[in-house]
Structure 1
Amino acid sequence: MSIQVEGAAGPDRLQRWDSLYVDAEKISNDKYHGSGGSWAKTLQLAFQSIGIVYGDVGTSPLYVYSSVFPDGIKHQDDLVGVLSLILYTLILIPMIKYAFIVLYANDNGDGGTFALYSLISRYANIRMIPNQQTEDENVSNYSIETPSSQLRRAQWVKQKLESSKGAKIALFTITILGTSMVMGDGTLTPAISVLSAVSGIREKAPSLTQLQVMWISVPILFVLFSVQRFGTDKVGYSFTPVISVWFLLIAGTGMYNLIVHDITILRAFNPKYIVDYFKRNGKEAWVSLGGVVLCITGTEAMFADLGHFNITAIQLSFTCVLFPSVALCYMGQAAYLHKFPENVGDTFYKSIPEPLFWPVFVVAIMAAIIASQAMLSGAFAILSKALSLGCFPRVEVVHTSNKYEGQVYIPEVNFLIGAASVAVTLAFQTTTNIGNAYGICVVTVFSITTHLMTVVMLLIWKERLPFIAAFYVVFSLAEFTYLSSILSKFTEGGYLPFCFSLVLMATWHYVHVRRYGYELDHIMSATEMTALLERRDGIPPVFPCLVDKIPSVHVVFVFMSIKHLPIPRVALPERFIFRRVGPVGYHMFRCVARYGYTDPLEGPNEFTALLLGRLKMFIQEEAILSTCQTAPVDEADDASSVAVDDGTHDAHLLVAQPESTGNSKNNDNDGHVLQRAQATVDEEKRFIDAEAERGVVYLMGEANVTAAAGSSVMKWIVVNYVYTFLRKNLRQGHKALSVPKDQLLKVGVTYEI
């Protein structure tokens, strides 16, 4: 038995009889992580989220004030203005925008930029690869509500998005950019967090230089990335108590500094001091916003990690733990600096009471490691979704937890990000320089989320225009202000995150789309296919190469396409769509295996077992429908319904006999037709089982993509060098699918695009 694995399903709907005719059974739509559940469970999730979600934003007090005032504090009231900026930034973006608005735009419980994009793509045909099929909308988790004709605005937005190539490119580009920025976060968070935490040792060993601090940080980074293979479940959740202790410590020291040094700093809750700060400092105040925005680094994790928790749990942990703790810490630091402004370069450790220094130092390093680990876990989860859209080279995705399906580990990406993080630490050496790139990552993701959320509100939520306008104007204006400040330091390290977008994801997806178009353009024509067997719609150009090289083809052949839908999960009973290719005697089938962007690919043995089981069920269902369609209309109307068992085992044939109409001859004929059909089905099932026992072979095309003659120099470099380098140095398709070598047959082809 041969299985030919293709890259993706074609754009046309599978014609003739296919398994979807009976595959319309609806699986109950599981809202994986909503706001429901018992309060005990919600409180447990809220506690766990402290260690997973807030490690990054919770460790920001280590370096915010030193980044805001790199040249020292020039006016005492500047501290009040900056503290006011920090407090209202925390309230505006993490609390109002994310905790109480964005979290509700989840995709069946999953969050992040890709979840927003997949949600939009189910309501409007905006995907760049034209592989949408009508059958996909019948998957139960698709669960879309077509915009009503009465809601003209939603219909108008949908039509504009679908008819505008520019809009499709823009939506996809910002999604790719957002994912690239998350990769940048995964690189920069370990560098800036560990370096900031380790810098505290200079309080007790002032003879240490910044260069020596950097070299102490590098081994910690090696340890951090080496433990990623154990997964978030073991590394992150076990350290939730550590982050909880961290929040208690920073809140306690904040209260201590407020009481001891200057409690009048609380006047920062009056936003008037923000206006005064900008009037007094002008351009310098605008530039300092790049440091202020570091107080909300890691906020996107509230949305990206939603799949591990639920909305209420995130809201509780933010409002009851995160916000009070970090707000007290920032207020305490400002109170301390009001008395000792010369210590702004190392505010956090200078403001710690002497007896608490070593406990806080140890917990700070542990908290920095946990914050980095959580950000990396989010980067792995988002990249695993990016694979489904062909936005990243095929890599191995390891699911590290049986309990939490969203927790994944990607070995190749872990190595690349780890090497980049160490390189950034060695190159930039100080948190101020790293912060320039870090801030761009953070604010760019915020802005992208705002724009995608606006589309969701218009197209899917169908909110009132005043609310949408207020959301867009307030948040986009605030984020643009921050972004404009940070981009002023683009050449001082801010360029780093864009390298991920340009070199890795944009390059790969560009060639991926062109390769997909080449395969569509070179599907075999009817004349060519007749020379082999007969016309087969959707068979890729690698098949004639196989027939030319191996004249003896297996007697059972399944043309398999792996397709990822823009939903988190596809239920197993809805995984496969089958269609017969050619006459029954050829034993050739077309199959599309559909996965959500969080579904893991099965191992070869499990995949083969599922495929054979569903194939035999399809043969059974095909016979049932064919028999019903050939029955006379009046007798078919009198017949009871045909039921098919939708389990993982072979289907039963449950056909009720028509009621007596006085025509026993016709009834006898129907019985003979059913018996003959069932005998044919049983014979074909036995034949397939016998061939499967002889062995299963996976036939895969090894496509070498090159730039066509006459291509531009840029295209020639991108296709022939950058794309080829990534394809050869990252995991190939058969390794990602875990196909055993003794069951793999490759057929080499070259695509000129």
Structure 2
Amino acid sequence: MSNHKDLQKLTGAGLLISLGIIYGDIGTSPLYVFKAIVGTQRISDILILGGVSCIFWTLTLQTTLKYVVITLRADNKGEGGIFSLFSLVRRKAKWLIVPAVVGGCALLADGIITPPITISAAIEGLHTYYPHLHTVPIVIIIIAALFIIQQFGTSLVGKAFGPIMFIWFTMMGLLGVFFVAQAPSVIRALNPYYAYELLSSNPNAFAILGAVFLCTTGAEALYSDLGHCGRLNIQMSWIYVKTCLVINYLGQAVWLLQRNGQIVNLNLQNPFYKIMPEWFLMYGIGIATVAAIIASQALISGSFTLIAEAVRLNLWPKVRINYPTEQKGQLYVPSVNWLLCAGCIGVVLLFKHSDKMEAAYGLSITVAMLMTTILVSKFLKRKKLPDYIVNTFLIMYLLIEGTFLWGNLGKFVDGGWFTLSIGSFLFSIMWSWHTARKIRNRYVKFIEIEDYYGIIKELSDDETVPKYASQLVYLTSANFNSEVESKIVYSILQKQPKRADVYWLVHVDVMDEPYKKEYEVDVLVPNKLIRIDFKLGFRIEQQINLLFRRVVEDLVKNGEVDITSSYKSLNKHKIVGDFRFVVIEKVLSRSHNLSFYESFIMAFYVYLKKISLSEERGFGLDLSFVTVEKVPLMLAAPETVEITRIK
């Protein structure tokens, strides 16, 4: 991977790209955070100064320290995200699959709520001009358009993201400066004392914490996009982003303090728009809308990457993944795109207004952050850091995020149930897929392949058996070269004896390194039985057809194998023999000895398999050369049946 090194360098282009891709979600939070903190409360010094103080320290401890300083170090050959992190630590303990899957599902659920809330909050700025405007149709049109363009790739738009987000952050900073200059004493709000004062004296402290949390929701996405920008670029650009954000929050605080003692309807008077000069408002709403679309785009791309990784790690059914542009890391997953689209439009129709969506927002992302904390602490342990440092990190962030989770639980009734139910649904899919594979593997019988060398060689030379194919290829899940599934031997020798010149066994190993691409060849019987092991990273597309052809060409070039047709008429013209792939599909026969839980999981798995991509398509095989054989996955030994013959 050549450009991995370039990404690690600090460059102007890298800084600009990271502004465009990474900070959309965090960068658009000033649109709704203060609105959520104040709600319908009377404005007071302690509410506003404490609010800013909470925001500042959340951004410092949560985003800066946990994500930008510590978690970004957990890079897997330059790639970030919860599944990359899981790949780094999964050897440590079996149970780590649970936080990885829970975190992944929570992030996907967040992808359904982020576009509606950011785009709604931006468009609602129009209420200043048209108080009775129905924003729902406008928001739905923008969201639909956003999902429709995904299939064409976003590299074109991607180039414009950086400069637009630079304008956005600079605008926020300048607007904030203008108001802070009117009352510089507001800077005292950065003192953590005000945060403590607010949370200890306000009866709504937990609700306020739930609202404050919205300022750091994009931190998870920031880590997921590590592979696109590189750590140094993210860390340096964060300094600028955080400065602009904090100044903007301080500016909004000044505007609110000017209304001390009043109860203000912040839905009609969003402080974010109120600190804009009258003449600038229309431009401001325009820039905010574009920034909201960019924030949504980053989340959608992140969801695609997440699902693609889950598929390779066998945590999600095989789905079609397209690569619309040549750009690395650019992918498009049609099924996920339309699911997200339906989910986002559903959210807009269900909640209608951004302040209602705030309730659904934040709960699932707190869960994702807690899971990342658990995985990062395992990563720090792996890095041989002293126990006291690892434990301090773990306890500190379990406390901080546990408190935020408690604050966000209050939102469950108002809308948190929505993202949690979507997250649970996604979890049921991932968990069932993962568990069903383990149940299936329990019943796959492996046998020593050596015992069959003689028979396979004899079958290949037996001219009384009609030839099935010149080159016959089986996909095997046996990890050891000495073994093979009994089903493959059954398919070759019994299920219709398959005579071929050369038999190939192909095995695919998904590696923990994201972009690894290697293979090993093991000649079991010279020119008769050959095994190829592909070692592919979890970010590599598994196009077995092309990879296999490439390997065979290399072997022919080195004179290790002869693939010329053995038919006399074709052989003298040196014509290459035909290839045939056989995919063995294990069908679930009556599952007598499974518990109720396992039977349920297997039933769900069978349904998921029906609607997902077939094995042969998933491996990128050319369907005209594939035979699919259904073989029962015999779960129970057949009972002895008694039957009487009538004389």
* SS in structure 1 of the partner of residue 48 of structure 2: helix
Aligned to 1:745: 627
Letter in 2 for 1:466: Y
- Equivalent-residue separation in structure 2 for 1:509 and 1:238 (angstroms): 39
Instruction: Give how far 1:33 is off.
Output: 4.4
Aligned to 2:553: 613
Aligned to 1:296: 216
* SS in structure 2 of the partner of residue 409 of structure 1: coil
Letter in 2 for 1:562: V
Task: Please say which of residues 367-376 and 434-443 is displaced more in the overlay.
Answer: 434-443
Letter in 1 for 2:70: I
Aligned to 2:225: 305
Aligned to 1:556: 502
Aligned to 1:114: 83
* SS in structure 2 of the partner of residue 541 of structure 1: helix
- Equivalent-residue separation in structure 2 for 1:603 and 1:238 (angstroms): 36
Aligned to 1:344: 266
Q: Which runs of 5+ in 1 are unaligned?
A: 1-28, 127-160, 162-166, 617-649, 652-680
Aligned to 2:464: none
- Equivalent-residue separation in structure 2 for 1:524 and 1:108 (angstroms): 37
- Equivalent-residue separation in structure 1 for 2:283 and 2:498 (angstroms): 72
Instruction: Give how far 1:385 is off.
Output: 1.6
Instruction: Give how far 1:528 is off.
Output: 9.0
Q: Percent identity?
A: 26
Q: Deviations 1:132-166 (Å, cap 9, x if unpaired)?
A: xxxxxxxxxxxxxxxxxxxxxxxxxxxxx4xxxxx
Which of 367, 377, 391 is the aligned partner of 2:315? 391
Which of 116, 133, 136 is the aligned partner of 1:191? 116
Instruction: Give how far 1:308 is off.
Output: 1.3
Q: Deviations 1:411-457 (Å, cap 9, x if unpaired)?
A: 11111122122222222223344333431232222222222121111
Which of 413, 421, 430 is the aligned partner of 1:505? 430
Aligned to 1:458: 381
Pairing 1:73-92 to 2, within 5 Å after superposition: 73=42, 75-92=44-61
Structure 1 residues 119 and 751: CA distance shift in structure 2, 3 A: same
Aligned to 1:734: 616
CA RMSD in angstroms comes to: 2.7
- Equivalent-residue separation in structure 2 for 1:488 and 1:317 (angstroms): 34
Instruction: Give how far 1:81 is off.
Output: 0.4
Instruction: Give how far 1:525 is off.
Output: 6.3
* SS in structure 2 of the partner of residue 731 of structure 1: coil
Aligned to 1:356: 280
Pairing 1:246-325 to 2, within 5 Å after superposition: 246-260=168-182, 262-282=183-203, 284-320=204-240, 322-325=241-244
Q: Deviations 1:246-287 (Å, cap 9, x if unpaired)?
A: 112222222223234x433221111111121122214x1122
- Equivalent-residue separation in structure 1 for 2:627 and 2:619 (angstroms): 14
Contact 1:558 1:589 in 2 (8 A): yes
- Equivalent-residue separation in structure 1 for 2:342 and 2:256 (angstroms): 37
Pairing 1:53-68 to 2, within 5 Å after superposition: 53-68=22-37
* SS in structure 1 of the partner of residue 42 of structure 2: coil
Instruction: Give how far 1:180 is off.
Output: 0.9
Instruction: Give how far 1:102 is off.
Output: 1.5
Instruction: Give how far 1:168 is off.
Output: 1.4
Task: Please say which of residues 223-232 and 80-89 is displaced more in the overlay.
Answer: 223-232
Kindly indicate whether residue 601 of structure 2 is the aligned counterpart of residue 718 of structure 1. Answer: yes
Contact 1:61 1:329 in 2 (8 A): yes
Structure 1 residues 75 and 391: CA distance shift in structure 2, 3 A: same
- Equivalent-residue separation in structure 1 for 2:624 and 2:77 (angstroms): 39
Structure 1 residues 516 and 422: CA distance shift in structure 2, 3 A: farther
Contact 2:7 2:14 in 1 (8 A): no
Instruction: Give how far 1:395 is off.
Output: 1.3
* SS in structure 1 of the partner of residue 541 of structure 2: coil
Letter in 1 for 2:4: Y
Structure 1 residues 73 and 401: CA distance shift in structure 2, 3 A: farther
Q: Deviations 1:175-222 (Å, cap 9, x if unpaired)?
A: 1111112211221111211121122222221122xxx32232112111
Instruction: Give how far 1:726 is off.
Output: 2.1
Aligned to 2:409: 487
Letter in 2 for 1:592: D
* SS in structure 2 of the partner of residue 406 of structure 1: coil
Q: Deviations 1:74-124 (Å, cap 9, x if unpaired)?
A: 533211101100011111121122222211121111111122221123xxx
Contact 1:563 1:592 in 2 (8 A): yes
Aligned to 1:139: none
Letter in 2 for 1:190: P
Kindly indicate whether residue 4 of structure 2 is the aligned counterpart of residue 32 of structure 1. Answer: yes
Pairing 1:561-640 to 2, within 5 Å after superposition: 561-571=507-517, 575-581=518-524, 583-584=525-526, 587-602=528-543, 604=545, 606-616=546-556
Structure 1 residues 228 and 36: CA distance shift in structure 2, 3 A: closer
Contact 1:523 1:538 in 2 (8 A): yes
Instruction: Give how far 1:370 is off.
Output: 0.8
Instruction: Give how far 1:536 is off.
Output: 6.6
Contact 1:400 1:409 in 2 (8 A): yes
Task: Please say which of residues 341-350 and 73-82 is displaced more in the overlay.
Answer: 341-350
* SS in structure 2 of the partner of residue 538 of structure 1: strand
Kindly indicate whether residue 421 of structure 2 is the aligned counterpart of residue 523 of structure 1. Answer: no
- Equivalent-residue separation in structure 2 for 1:434 and 1:532 (angstroms): 67
- Equivalent-residue separation in structure 1 for 2:513 and 2:52 (angstroms): 42
Instruction: Give how far 1:497 is off.
Output: 4.4
Structure 1 residues 70 and 400: CA distance shift in structure 2, 3 A: same
Q: Deviations 1:299-350 (Å, cap 9, x if unpaired)?
A: 1222211111221111111002x11111111111111111235043333223
Letter in 2 for 1:385: E
Letter in 1 for 2:542: L
Kindly indicate whether residue 390 of structure 2 is the aligned counterpart of residue 471 of structure 1. Answer: no
Structure 1 residues 342 and 47: CA distance shift in structure 2, 3 A: same
The 4+ residue runs of structure 1 with deviation greater than 6 A are: 525-528, 687-692
- Equivalent-residue separation in structure 1 for 2:423 and 2:408 (angstroms): 14
Structure 1 residues 687 and 513: CA distance shift in structure 2, 3 A: same
Instruction: Give how far 1:553 is off.
Output: 3.0
- Equivalent-residue separation in structure 2 for 1:542 and 1:330 (angstroms): 65
Instruction: Give how far 1:563 is off.
Output: 1.8
Aligned to 2:107: 182
Contact 1:576 1:614 in 2 (8 A): no
Contact 1:707 1:719 in 2 (8 A): no
Structure 1 residues 36 and 351: CA distance shift in structure 2, 3 A: closer
Contact 1:232 1:377 in 2 (8 A): no
Instruction: Give how far 1:693 is off.
Output: 2.1
Letter in 1 for 2:94: K
Structure 1 residues 384 and 548: CA distance shift in structure 2, 3 A: same
- Equivalent-residue separation in structure 1 for 2:153 and 2:631 (angstroms): 38
- Equivalent-residue separation in structure 2 for 1:279 and 1:179 (angstroms): 34
* SS in structure 1 of the partner of residue 485 of structure 2: coil
Q: Deviations 1:728-750 (Å, cap 9, x if unpaired)?
A: 22222222333232112111123
Tell me which of the two structures has the higher relative contact order, counting C-alpha pairs closer than 8 angstroms and 6 or more residues apart.
1
- Equivalent-residue separation in structure 2 for 1:686 and 1:594 (angstroms): 28
Letter in 2 for 1:68: I
Instruction: Give how far 1:374 is off.
Output: 0.5
Task: Please say which of residues 49-58 and 447-456 is displaced more in the overlay.
Answer: 447-456
Contact 2:18 2:234 in 1 (8 A): yes
Contact 1:511 1:723 in 2 (8 A): yes
Letter in 2 for 1:506: W
- Equivalent-residue separation in structure 2 for 1:119 and 1:533 (angstroms): 41
Contact 1:529 1:536 in 2 (8 A): no
Instruction: Give how far 1:368 is off.
Output: 0.9
Structure 1 residues 287 and 692: CA distance shift in structure 2, 3 A: farther
- Equivalent-residue separation in structure 2 for 1:324 and 1:445 (angstroms): 26
* SS in structure 2 of the partner of residue 110 of structure 1: coil
